[in-house]
Amino acid sequence: MQRRRFLSLGAALALGPLLTRPARADAGHAAMGHAAMGSAAAREGLPAAADFGLPAGLPLPGLPRLANQARSGGFDGELIAGEARLPLLPGKPATAFWAYNGQLPGPAIEVFEGEEVRIRFINRLPQATTVHWHGLPIPADQDGNPHNPVRPGEEREYRFVLPAGSAGSYWYHPHPHGHTAEQVYMGLAGMFVVKSRQDPLSHLPEQWLALSDLKLDAQGRVAANDDADRMDGREGQFVLVNRAWRPRLVLGEGERQRWRIWNVTSARVLKLALPAHDALLVGSDGGLLAAPRPVRELLLAPGERAELVVTGRFRAGQPSRLLALPYARGKMMGPEQTEAIDLMEVARGAATSAAPLPETLRDIAPLPAAAVSRRVAFSEDMANPTAMFLINGKTFDMERVDFVGKAGEVEEWEIDNQADMDHPFHIHGTQFQVVSRLDGGVWRAEPYLAWRDVVNVPPGGKVKLRFRQDLPGLRMFHCHILEHEDAGMMGMLDVRA
Ligand SMILES: [Cu+2]
């Protein structure tokens, strides 16, 4: 309904470029394909990926670690957010980004459970910012809420202890009021891994893969968001892996590797596949599963992470590549993804005997029945350009607490997507367990336990999840399509002691 209202009122909305797209007017939800809309690269006269001459097939870059300056225990590090010019396009001047410590992605932080982390953060951006520690169970006043901005030229310390059981793959990124999308697409994001001293997979070689989006304009600059980006969430011409385009990872024949994968794109739902090889899902956002699970495809929503154990098989007739298979996410303006995106080459290394893999990884106890039940409905009101993306009918308000909870109490939330696009739900400060999902009109119990902080909810879908917030304070919950978050698809849970 809302989509039709949007179409009929389109002329009144001053969404200029929309009106120049004749294919849009009669494009139904299912018909917004490639043919009708043209390729993403053709949008707004943007050049295609191939036009930039970005080299493909270079060795996968590593993710340099942030140096630990602590003299006795814990982790002391320094992050400076600022402008950085980095060589990107062959034969062209360096490209201007915003980066942490001049690195793309930002320096990876690697710490152990139980450690205290102290980060001195300096803002040399022209805007206020914060550092949000995505997924970490840390105090609210250290978590980079939009209520605690670090203004240009200012600095602050973030300090927190990582509790036992928190080993997992997290990340950090800005979370300022209204400017999260812009600061992330300009380059501000870094990976954060918490390790356990009792890690049953510590014997496996690790690969860290940060999947990010890059959109360049005709001059090779990081492009500003256009109307389609603001509506659908930004997608660029490139999906990069550790800042490289279609890099090459070496996997031995028969070798087992542990891959940590981050979707740090603004909006892409990545349907990952590795057709020539065997993959086991061993971890989610908040660390290891109870036991490995064979997977053929892995849906990774914006902000979400996964851990795989990959075994080199090099099956004949299958591309030895990491792919993002076509996935339609109900976009309003842009074309849907109709072809697989080639993310990375997996090159054949020397034959290696597979390292042993334990049958169980750790215990995960199901959260008990909830003391409190709440409902979170995502909706879109395309007739209202100042409040298009809504939670329970409201747009985000920095002064409004949406729910009041109690520390230590289990809550069950039903996330109800009444909108036309996929919206990935994210909550700060804790990890949740998905209990069940409404899929094609049928509720299905979640087949396995996992700790998550992002779950994708497709249009018409519902997800029931349970969590406990152990620490008091103000916690944001929002859609992790960053443009939707900035446009108001966010609320606040005040957890009281
Ligand atoms: Cu959204």
Question: Ligand 1 centre from 115 Cα, in Å?
Answer: 34
The three-point CA angle 384-386-387 to 5° equals: 70
For residue 17, pLDDT beyond 70: no
Pairing of strands 206-214, 256-263: parallel
Phi first, then psi, for residue 394 (nearest 5°) are -125, 150
pLDDT in tens, 108-145: 999 999 999 999 999 999 999 999 999 999 999 999 99
Q: What is the pLDDT of residue 66?
A: 98
**Neighbouring residues of 177: CB distance < 8 A, sequence distance ≥ 6:** 146, 149, 398
Reply yes or no on whether the pLDDT at 87 is more than 50: yes
Q: Residue 435 and residue 412: Cα distance in Å, rounded?
A: 9
Expressed in angstroms and rounded, the spacing between residue 358 Cα and the centre of ligand 1 is 38
**What is the Å distance from ligand 1's center to 379 Cα?**
9
Looking at per-residue confidence, does 151 or 383 come out higher? 151
| Averaged pLDDT, 453-471 | 98
233 CA to centre of ligand 1 in angstroms = 8
184-212 burial, b for 16+ CB within 10 Å, e for fewer? bbbbbbbbbbbbbeebebeebeebbbbbb
HSE-up of 267 (CA within 13 Å, CB side)? 31
Q: Which pLDDT band, with edges at 50, 70 and 90, does 298 fall under?
A: very high
Q: What spacing in Å lies between the alpha carbon of 245 and ligand 1's midpoint? A: 26
Q: How far is the CA of 457 from the centre of ligand 1 (A)?
A: 9
- 254 falls in which pLDDT band (50, 70, 90)? very high
| Ligand 1 centroid from CA 364, angstroms | 29
In the DSSP assignment, the letter for residue 65 is: B
271: burial class by Cβ within 10 Å (0-12, 13-18, 19+)?
middle
Does residue 212 carry a pLDDT above 80? yes
Nearest-angstrom CA–CA distance, 322 and 320:
7
Q: Is the pTM of this model over 0.85?
A: yes
Confidence band, pLDDT 50/70/90 cuts, at residue 484: very high
Mean pLDDT of all residues in 462-483: 98
Q: How far is the CA of 242 from the centre of ligand 1 (A)?
A: 25
Cα angle: 46, vertex 487, 423; to 5 degrees: 85
Q: Quote the ligand 1 centre to 345 CA distance (angstroms).
A: 31
Query: What pLDDT does residue 50 have?
Result: 86
State the chain's maximal CA–CA distance in angstroms.
65
What is the mean predicted confidence (pLDDT) over 91-105? 96
Give percent of the chain with pLDDT exceeding 70. 91
| Rounded Cα gap, residues 312 and 415, in angstroms | 38
Cβ atoms of 153 and 126 within 8 Å: the answer is no
**Predicted pLDDT at 439:** 87
Cα 33 to Cα 30: distance, rounded to the nearest angstrom: 7
pLDDT at 24 over 80: no
How many Cβ atoms are within 10 Å of 15's Cβ, its own excluded? 18
* Pairing assessment for the beta strands 305-311 and 278-284 based on DSSP bridges: antiparallel
Cα–ligand 1 centroid distance for 462 (angstroms) = 14
d(CA 455, CA 462): 10
CA of 380 from ligand 1 middle (Å) equals 9
- Rounded to a whole number of angstroms, the distance between the first and last alpha carbons of the chain is 42
Q: Work out the average pLDDT over 441-461.
A: 97
Specify whether the CB–CB gap between 262 and 211 falls below 8 A: yes
pLDDT tens digits, one per residue of 363-404: 999 999 998 999 999 999 988 888 999 999 999 999 999 999
For ligand 1, the distance from its centroid to the CA atom of residue 484, given in whole angstroms, is: 5
- 171: enclosing H helix or E strand: strand 168-173
Report how far ligand 1's centroid is from the alpha carbon of 419 (Å). Answer: 9
State in Å: Cα 417 to ligand 1 middle. Answer: 10
Per-residue confidence at 43, pLDDT binned at 50, 70, 90? Answer: low
Over residues 89-109, mean pLDDT: 96
Query: Measured between alpha carbons, how far is residue 438 from residues 26, 131, 179, 376, 464 in Å?
Result: 29, 34, 33, 14, 8
Q: What are phi and psi of 340, to 5 degrees?
A: -65, 140
Model confidence at 341: pLDDT above 70? yes
- Residues with CB in 5 Å of ion ligand 1: 423, 479, 481, 484
- Report the C-alpha gap between 94 and 84 in whole angstroms: 9
Q: How far, in Å, is the centroid of ligand 1 from the Cα of 430? A: 20
Taking the centre of ligand 1 as the mean of its atom positions, its distance from the CA of residue 489, in whole angstroms, is: 7
- pLDDT above 50: residue 42: no
For residue 180, report the distance from its CA to the centre of ligand 1, in Å.
14
Written as six digits, the tokens of 164 are 């036992």
Q: Report d(CA 331, CA 461) in Å as an integer.
A: 16
> Which has more pLDDT, 92 or 344?
344
**Element spanning 63, H or E:** none
Lowest mean pLDDT among 3-12, 135-144, 221-230: 3-12
Looking at residue 13, its pLDDT comes to 36
pLDDT at 37: 30
Beta bridge partners of 418: none
CA of 330 from ligand 1 middle (Å) equals 11
Closest CA to 105 of 191, 222, 33: 191
Give 19 Cα–ligand 1 centroid separation in angstroms: 23
Ligand 1 centroid, distance to 316 Cα (angstroms): 39
| Span 93-110, average pLDDT | 97
Asked whether 357 and 263 are in contact (CB, 8 A), the reply is no
Q: What is the pLDDT of residue 44?
A: 58
pLDDT of residue 149: 98
